[in-house]
Amino acid sequence: MEQIMINHYVHFSRLVQGFWRANEWKMTAKELNYFINELVERGITTMDHADIYGDYQCESLFGNALDLSPELRNKIQIVTKCGIILPSKQFDFTNGHRYDLSSKHIVKSVEQSLINLNVDYLDSLLIHRPSPLMDPEQVADALTKLVKQGKLKSFGVSNFNHSQYQLLNQYIMKERLHISINQLELSPYHVDSLQDGTMDSMYQNHVQ
């Protein structure tokens, strides 16, 4: 399968498998391990997660499956996201749906995702949604710190429009890094990114 270059260290498969509803699949760790192996056999090597998926359970389900075949880690690319906080049955989150893009929260989320996924680095971290209260300097500081610690090989954003991308990337570039990915919602029902200049901007800046 065609590979997409994210940066000099990371390539993604053209097709990506999402694990948003993995907890609803009701697979055992062995069954999920088999599923992941089947994906790899078919050339789908990039696995998409988020800390909040499945009431904060999906990353751990994947990590348990990966633990059965540690050699799989070198054959796959793991992407996860952070920045959204949802009410959860698993944790004492009672203050509703909100965003947290503070440096402290981003670092804490990544460290927890590494534990959940049973890995020591992420191929990419995405900021899940833009926040109107985002402090781009804090986000840039957190991402830079995590890259320097070897916990991230690349990073990006999700559903950022052109101006939101430009604002954050301005601070990222001060650290001689760059946003590699903007995961956009695009379908016949969601075409805004094709019409508001976002997609044009991503092409111009070589963002995948």
14-39 pLDDT, tens digit each: 999 999 999 999 999 999 999 999 99
Q: Tens of pLDDT along 39-58?
A: 999 999 999 999 999 999 99
CATH number at residue 11: 3.20.20.100
Cite the active site residues: 53
Q: What is the mean pLDDT of the chain?
A: 92
In contact, 130 and 169? CB cutoff 8 Å: no
User: Could you tell me the pTM of the whole model?
Assistant: 0.92
Does residue 94 carry a pLDDT above 70?
no
Residue 192 lies in a domain: no
Residue 201 lies in a domain: no
DSSP reduced 3-state for 37: helix
Q: Tens of pLDDT along 1-17?
A: 899 898 888 999 999 99
C-alpha 27/C-alpha 57 separation (Å) is 13
In contact, 125 and 80? CB cutoff 8 Å: yes
Residue 165 lies in a domain: no
The residue segments making up the domain with residue 22 are 3-159
Domain count, the chain: 1
Show Cβ contacts of residue 27 under 8 Å, excluding neighbours closer than 6 positions: 35, 61, 65
Residue 13 lies in a domain: yes
Residue 17 lies in a domain: yes
